[in-house]
Amino acid sequence: MFSHSFLLIVNGYVNSSFTMIGRHLFVIFFLLIFVGSAQQNNVTDVRIIGAKKTKSTFVKKIVQVKKGVPLDSVILLKDVERLKRLPSIAHADFQVFTGENGEYNVVFTIEENFTIIPFANIYASSNDDFAFRIGLQEFNLLGRNMILGGFYQYDTYNSLGINLRAPYLINNKTGLAVNYKNLTTEEPVFFDDTTANYKYNNKGFEVMGLYEFNFENRIELGFSLFTEDYTYLSGATSASVPQFLNVDKHLFKFIYNYDNVKYYYHYLDGFRSMLNLQYVGSSDTNLPEFLIGFNDFIYYRRMGSKGNWASRLRLGLASNMKTPFAPFTVDNNLNIRGVGNTIDRGTGAVVFNTEYRHTLIDKNWFAMQGNIFIDGGSWRNPGGDFSDFGDRMNLRIYPGIGLRFIHKRIFNAIFRIDYGYGITNNAAQGIVFGIGQYF
């Protein structure tokens, strides 16, 4: 509309002042000035330097700076942060060069990660629990940051799983994830102040649609079909608690993820929140349908040049049924380091983890961090009320120390060792090994 009005003004002026030939020349002159002025801030070329395995076409697809659009420094900075979040990229930066006509060439420089990564989670505690999960993941399949992985788990029994996640499969906002799992563990079941041990199996698949609204906000929406199998092994029994169950279930899931964390290699700064809502339907009243929701609030802060403070608060609630198969668990690898393998269950959870990480060694490709932490939480008993969160029998606090060994050129190559020591009732102690930061 502006250009049309401009032409009308110019034509009106020259019609009253110039001959036909002079009028045409005058209009052309003004058009050249106007077009040149309108395009002087436009991007004429976008180049990618440092991409080897990652496809340059993929990088250009997901950044917002495009050829032919006006240059915007805010968008440029967000594009760099977006690239740093990709598994395939360890670090990213940009340069802007002015062309002969006052237009701009944008160059993104990236440092790639090695992205075929083995992983392992191992833990042992004073309760004689021992379990591990090992696997292999490719985080940059086909050079397009698709993730393909599989794992083997030993936790009294053998388990396996495979997953594919392609967040930009359809376009620069829309993707798909598909997972299959066959998990078997020995699980404690709590009822009438007693405990029984069951062999538990969960087998099924999940399909999720992924959508990115903007740089900070993403959602996932999907469903899964699975079968849960409980077989009694040992311990207490009750006429009201079946010793064998084989139940077909279905699940609908919604995840909303807000992420405003800035990345500089292994240092993080900012806030992240992830909301997870699920409806689980069941074919057996012994494992009835239920709703479950929880939110993780995570805050990172840089402390000087070598320190990083990290905190996570999880708030969760589920349908408050009096069942021995409650969905929230107290577990080494999920929430409280050193506590043991699934030592309790509940229909609500409040968990707080906080730790200070300090870099002891920081070289070109390697870093080592030491950390001190406090993990704490409380649970609502199945069929109980909110006062259960204040019950000292449900409260668990575990301070501890740990080490991180970090390869700065391999995605998520952080080998962690944590030792947690309980200071509340009936506390345990234990060592938890894993790949990646705990949160």
Q: Note the pLDDT of residue 6.
A: 33
* CA-based nearest residue to 339, from 379, 370, 312, 300: 379
pLDDT per position as a tens digit, 330-382? 888 889 999 987 788 899 999 999 999 999 999 988 999 999 999 999 999 99
Could you state, in order of their start, the residue ranges of all structural domains in the chain? 2-39, 43-112, 116-435
- Tell me: pLDDT of 77 over 80: yes
Q: Note the pLDDT of residue 40.
A: 53
Of 31 and 88, which is predicted with more confidence?
Answer: 88
3-state secondary structure of 393: coil
Angstrom distances, CA of residue 376 to CA of 1, 236, 331, 423: 61, 29, 12, 10
Q: Note the pLDDT of residue 343.
A: 82
- DSSP-derived secondary structure for 190-219: EETTEEEEEEEEEEEEEEEEEEE-SSSEEE
Q: Note the pLDDT of residue 136.
A: 93
How far is 359 from 266, CA to CA, in rounded Å?
10
- Tell me: pLDDT of 122 over 80: no
Angstrom distances, CA of residue 89 to CA of 58, 97, 106, 140, 320: 12, 23, 18, 10, 44
Question: Same topology for domains 43-112 and 116-435, yes or no?
Answer: no
Pull the structure tokens for residue 371: 């950390």
Looking at domain 116-435, its CATH architecture is Beta Barrel (2.40)
Q: Note the pLDDT of residue 13.
A: 36
CB 82 within 8 A of CB 49: no
Q: Look at the pTM and tell me if it is higher than 0.85.
A: no
Banded model confidence at residue 132, pLDDT cuts 50, 70, 90: confident
3-state secondary structure of 325: coil
Q: Note the pLDDT of residue 14.
A: 39
Banded model confidence at residue 127, pLDDT cuts 50, 70, 90: low
Q: Note the pLDDT of residue 351.
A: 97
pLDDT per position as a tens digit, 8-23? 333 333 343 444 444 4
Q: What's the mean pLDDT in 85-105?
A: 89
Banded model confidence at residue 30, pLDDT cuts 50, 70, 90: very low
* CA-based nearest residue to 159, from 117, 207, 201: 201
Q: Note the pLDDT of residue 184.
A: 95
Residue 24: Cβ within 10 Å count: 12
Q: Note the pLDDT of residue 193.
A: 82
pLDDT per position as a tens digit, 152-204? 999 889 999 999 999 999 998 999 999 999 999 888 888 888 889 999 999 99
Q: Note the pLDDT of residue 39.
A: 46
Angle between helices 2-15 and 20-39 (to 10 degrees): 150
Q: Note the pLDDT of residue 246.
A: 94
State in words which class domain 43-112 has: alpha beta
- Tell me: pLDDT of 31 over 70: no
Lowest mean pLDDT among 3-7, 11-15, 144-148: 3-7
Q: Note the pLDDT of residue 10.
A: 36
- Tell me: pLDDT of 32 over 50: no
Report the side by side order of strands in the sheet with 104-112.
43-49, 104-112, 89-98
Round the average pLDDT of the chain to a whole number and report it: 87
The H or E element that residue 370 is part of is strand 366-380
DSSP assignment letter at 70: B
Q: Note the pLDDT of residue 187.
A: 85
- Long-range contacts: 145-152, Cβ < 8 Å, 24+? 145/54, 145/58, 145/86, 145/87, 145/88, 147/87, 151/119
Q: Note the pLDDT of residue 3.
A: 37
